[in-house]
Amino acid sequence: MFSFDLLLDAVVTGVLLGCFYAAVSLGLSLSFGLLDVPHVAHPAFLVMASYGVFFLNERFDIDPLLAGLLITPLLFVFGLGAYRLYYETFEKRGSDAGVRGIAFFFGIAFIIEVLLILQFGVDQQSVTASYIGKAWRIGDMRIPFRLVVAFAVAAALTILLTLYLSRTFMGRAIRAVAQDQEALRLMGANPIRIKQWAFGIATAVLGIAGALLIIVAPVDPTLDRSYIGRTFCVVVMAGLGSMSGTLVAAIILGVAETIVLTLFGASWAPAISFAMLLGILAVRPQGLFGRRS
């Protein structure tokens, strides 16, 4: 019943899938992990980006990845606006921001869901590209080409973002603002502007991530609900704000999901990420590579 080949197949697919999960979680790792924004709407933004890609692909026959790049600036501006609104209404006023901030983002996610339903319907949508539908064969193993594309792009995206945060001036400023906002203020910098910029980047990354999402599998407007589990699982497991940790955590999730899928069937798949998330929150809330004690 249990074969080694099957396990190997699951692990390989899991690693590829994991890299993809890392790509869709990077933005959250920035916005929630580093900036402490309770960004429950992150998966909804992601699905929205996917629909943007779908629209460009269907209407103008643009390659999904290129379409993802094209909507990136739009998403960046959208992110700037979203953070500004959040800051003006909650962070600035201070007290009780937690409860209402969460409700705020949940409301936004809900609105996006309904708007997508009204615009595109409840059916699943997918994109067309030359690399979708083909597969690599290595011995008995069959690896879908779309996963390989997702893997490569996701890995590149993770490396780029890690480099951005560690090498560039603005990236370092973002990490500084996460560590000590007051110190930054004392040095004459404007922490709010840096945070807004970071939130913009976190949203902009969703262009490519959204393209990957719709390349890997068809999307529907309520897909964000299952990605709440996946993205938060990855970010919390990684330890808030750690980019390399995000990659490792995402791969652990990917492998766990494919193994459970192979052993118990697809109907258990939605619960894996949520169950892992619950476990981590209950036992080790600081994550595996936590920055906080």
Partner 1 sequence: MSRNSLFFWIGAIVFLAAALLMTQVIGNEYPFFACYVILQFIVLSVSWSILGGYAGYVNFGTSAFFGMGVYTAVFLFKVAGAPLAVQIAAAAAVGALMGFALGLLTMRMQGIFFSIATIALTIVIETSITNWRYIGGAAGIQMQRPPVMAPFNSYVQMLFFVQALLVVLAIGTSRYIQNSWMGHGLQALKDDELAAECTGVPTLRLKLLACVISGALMCAAGAPAAMYLQYADPSSAFNLNYSVTVLAMSLIGGTAHWAGPVVGAILLGTTQQLLTVTISSEINLLVLGVMLVLFVVAAPEGIIGLIRRVRHSRKEGEG
Give the tokens for residue 273.
């990420």
- Using the minimum distance from each CB to partner 1, give the nearer residue, 101 or 207: 101
Please choose, from the candidates 26, 250, 248, 17, the residue with its C-alpha nearest in 3D space to the C-alpha of residue 147: 17
Instruction: Kindly list the residues in this chain that would bind partner 1 in the complex (CB under 8 A).
Output: 32, 38, 40, 85, 89, 96, 98-100, 102-104, 106-108, 110-111, 113-115, 117-118, 225-226, 228-229, 232, 236, 267-268, 270-271, 274-275, 277-278, 281-282, 285
Shortest Å, Cβ 163 to partner 1? 29
Task: Report d(CA 1, CA 24) in Å as an integer.
Answer: 34
Rg (CA), the chain: 19
Please check whether residue 207 is in contact with residue 161, taking contact to mean a CB–CB distance below 8 angstroms.
no
**Smallest distance from partner 1 to CB 250, Å:** 17
Helix intervals (H) in 121-205: 145-167, 169-179, 181-186, 191-204
CB-based contacts of 175: which residues, under 8 Å, 6+ apart? 34, 165, 166
What is the rounded CA–CA span in Å between residue 28 and residue 34? 9
Q: How far is the CB of 103 from partner 1 (least distance, A)?
A: 5
Reported as type and span, the H/E element at residue 255 is helix 243-264
What's the min distance (Å) between Cβ of 188 and partner 1? 31
Q: Least distance in Å: CB of 146 to partner 1?
A: 26
Q: Which is nearer to partner 1, 215 or 228 (CB)?
A: 228
Q: Nearest approach, Cβ of 104 to partner 1 (angstroms)?
A: 5
47: buried, middle or exposed (CB in 10 Å: 19+, 13-18, 0-12)? Answer: buried
Q: Which is nearer to partner 1, 63 or 113 (CB)?
A: 113
Residue partners of 106: CB distance under 8 A and separation at least 6? 40, 41
Nearest residue (CB) to partner 1, 40 versus 206 = 40
Closest CA to 117 of 48, 53, 49, 60: 48
Query: For residue 270, what are its two tokens?
Result: 């939605």
Report the nearest approach of partner 1 to the CB of residue 152 (Å). Answer: 30
d(CA 223, CA 113): 9
Q: Which is nearer to partner 1, 72 or 125 (CB)?
A: 125
* Minimum CB distance to partner 1 smaller for 197 or for 227: 227
Of the two residues 105 and 151, which places its CB atom closer to partner 1 in the complex? 105
